[in-house]
Structure 1
Amino acid sequence: MKKILVLFLFLTGISYSQTKKDILIGNWQATDKSGVKNKMVFSNDGFVSMSINGEFIDGKNFVVKGGKNDGQKGTLKYEIDESTIPIKMDIIASSLEKGKAVEKGRLLAIVDFINNDEIKINLSLNQTRATEFNETNEDSTVLLQRDK
Structure 2
Amino acid sequence: MKKILLLFLILTSVSYAQTKKEMLVGNWLGTDASGAKNTMIFTSDNFISMTVNGELIDGKNYIVKGGKNNGQKGLLKYEIDESKTPIALDIIAYALEKGKQIEKGRFLAILDFKSNDEIKINLSLNGVRATEFNESNAASTILLKRN
Cα root mean square deviation, aligned: 1.2
TM-score normalised by structure 1 residue count: 0.93
Structure 1 CA distance, aligned partners of 2:9 and 2:67? Answer: 55
Indicate the SS of the match to 1:85.
coil
Q: Give % identity.
A: 64
How many residues are paired up?
146
Structure 2 CA distance, aligned partners of 1:23 and 1:130? Answer: 22
1:91-147 C-alpha deviation (Å, 9 max, x unpaired) = 010001111211111000000111111111000111100000011111111111111
Deviates more, 1:49-58 or 1:122-131: 49-58
Deviates more, 1:75-84 or 1:26-35: 26-35
Indicate the SS of the match to 1:65.
coil
Indicate the SS of the match to 1:15.
helix
Deviates more, 1:7-16 or 1:95-104: 7-16
TM-score normalised by structure 2 residue count: 0.93
Structure 1 CA distance, aligned partners of 2:138 and 2:46? Answer: 26
Tell me if structure 1 keeps the 8 A contact 2:36–2:54: no
Structure 1 CA distance, aligned partners of 2:54 and 2:110? Answer: 24
Indicate the SS of the match to 1:9.
helix
Indicate the SS of the match to 1:130.
coil
Structure 1: gaps (5+ residues): none
**Counterpart position of 2:11:** 12
Question: Is residue 43 from structure 1 mapped to residue 43 from structure 2 by the alignment?
Answer: yes
Q: After TM superposition, give the deviation of residue 15 of structure 1 in Å.
A: 2.2
Structure 2 CA distance, aligned partners of 1:127 and 1:51? Answer: 19
Which residue identity does 2:37 align to in structure 1? Answer: K
Structure 2: gaps (5+ residues): none
